[in-house]
Amino acid sequence: MSSITGDSKLLRLGGLDVRVRHTRPPAPPDAPPVLVLHGWGASIDAVGSVVDGLAGRFEVVAVDLPGFGESPEPPEAWDVGAYARFVLGACDELGLQRFSLVGHSFGARIGIVLAATHPDRIARMVLTGAAGIKPRRRPSYYAKVAVAKAGRVVAAVGGAPGRRLQDRMRGRVASSDWLEASEAMRGTFRRVIGEDLSPHLPHIRASTLLVWGERDEDTPLWMGRRMEETIPDAGLVVLDGGHYAYAERAADFNRIAAHFLADA
């Protein structure tokens, strides 16, 4: 495998040509390498501030997860476990045996599964805007589900006009993440968001830092507090920001994360 100093390049990992950015500090680091995982619909570029902020002190690896950025889609619909197995295999191929992990949103989902199922591989973990806990549903949500189901029935019996009506109904009730996903990735999206990762949380042994935006509307702050209560060794830091508080408050986030990861 060729050496990577900071620019991203495509590498064959897990049978897929995925985009990887791998940075190494000038002096050998004392702490384990850091794996950075982006959120749904994002890429290495979205977590560039984290990679840049940690690169001077740690060996840092960031990957365009399959189906995102410049990496190809998975060969079939994947759940979080499948992504976790891919990431673990990629780390094996990159020579990362024991590493810390920084994950945002969907990337944090993968981190939760990895830390719970392979505790010997994760030194420390920073989760920001972490997804994985089932949201509290309002009555309007179930109304939307009923509309979506009705749309599927109309499409099944109504031919082309029915499918056009279904598309309009989807546009009104579906999330932007689902609408922006390719047809192939929509199956993955359904599997991923349907998983409640709460049962994994008590099995995480790695010290975990939870960093949340106070005004996060995608993964509300109560989810961070629930994770803090459930993960055995966890602490919560709240920043003035939203779901992307790690980028909105990049200097604060990187300072806090670097201090925490240095003690791994």
pLDDT of residue 160: 57
User: For residue range 149-175, what is the model confidence (pLDDT) as tens digits?
Assistant: 444 444 455 555 544 544 544 444 345
Sheet order of strands, 9-13 included: 9-13, 16-23, 60-63, 34-37, 99-104, 122-128, 207-213, 234-239
CA distances from 127 to 39, 50, 108, 236 (A): 11, 12, 6, 10
| pLDDT classification of 39: cutoffs 50, 70, 90 | very high
Give the span between the Cα atoms of 19 and 17, in whole angstroms.
7
Residue 26: predicted pLDDT: 85
Radius of gyration of the chain from Cα atoms? 19
Q: 10 Å Cβ neighbour count for 204?
A: 25
Closest CA to 35 of 120, 121, 117, 119: 121
From 23-32, 127-136, 138-147, 243-252, the region with the lowest mean pLDDT = 138-147
- The CA–CA distances, whole Å, from 39 to 36, 215, 239 equal 10, 18, 18
- Give me the residue spans of the domains in the chain: 9-134+196-262, 139-182
CATH topology of domain 9-134+196-262: Rossmann fold (3.40.50)
The pLDDT score that the predictor gives to residue 4 is 37
What is the reported pLDDT for 155? 47
CA distance 107 to 39: 5
Report pTM. 0.84
Nearest-angstrom CA–CA distance, 196 and 199? 8
